Every structure is written in C-alpha cells, then in structure tokens.
Amino acid sequence: MMNYDFFTAQMRFIVQKTERQSDEVALMMDALEDVIAQLEAGDGASFRIEAQALRPTARALAGVAGFMQQHILPEATAAGNTSGEEQIRWTIDSCMSMMANLMTQAELDKDEKGLDVVLPPFP
C-alpha cells in the first residue's frame, strides 16, 4: 500500500496557512481537516464524505489544487526537486479528479448521499 503522508502534509500546510476570513472558508478548512483526520485514523488511502459536506469538500480540494499549482509547483520545479514535483503534480491531478467526483455525486443525488473516496494510485 502506498504511503500518502505527503498528501496529508500538503493539505495540513494549506489549512494552517489559510486565514478563516469567512464562514465559507472556515467550512472548507474544516472539510480538509476532516479528510486529514480520516486518512490518518483509517487505512491512509480512503475517506468518506457525508452528503452535507460534498460541496465544501469539493471546493476545498479545488483550492488545494490551485494553491499547489500556483505557488508550490513552480518552486519545486525551479529547485529541480523531481520527487517533490511528482508528488505535487499527483496532488493537483488527484484533487481535481476528487473534486469532480464529489460535485457529480452532489448533483446526481441532490445532496442526499455521501461518497466513499479512494485515493488514486501514485505513479
């Protein structure tokens, strides 16, 4: 089984750096903290998002992807950190994929059913 500690560390970094300047941002950061807690307490590769948290979690994951792409990836690339760059690119792609799945679930089931999420394999 793949160790996804880098992913939880990346999300924790973003949660710690993000100011909870509105209720919406606070809700998204709480959603990320819930994902982190589930990954750390469970098998490390899956988590459950309840129906009421699908949309905030999806927005939070999109935010993680955006932050990583805009701020962290360029630094890793410039430093020639190929393993870090690979992890960052995985996080960006995986967060966007998970975001799409969560939003699809929310739309199809009218926010009435949660979703079990399994992290994609690391290349």
DSSP letters, 3-34, are: --HHHHHHHHHHHHHS---SHHHHHHHHHHHH
- Output the pLDDT for position 60: 98
DSSP letters, 35-95, are: HHHHHHHS-SSEEEE-GGGHHHHHHHHHHHHHHIIIIIHHHHHHHT-HHHHHHHHHHHHHH
25 in any annotated domain: yes
Q: What is the pLDDT of residues 4-43, one digit of tens each?
A: 999 999 999 999 999 999 999 999 999 999 999 999 999 9
Range of the domain at 97: 5-118
Q: What is the pLDDT of residues 46-96, one digit of tens each?
A: 999 999 999 999 999 999 999 999 999 999 999 999 999 999 999 999 999
Instruction: Count how many domains the chain has.
Output: 1
- Output the pLDDT for position 2: 73
How many residues appear in the chain?
Answer: 123
123 in any annotated domain: no
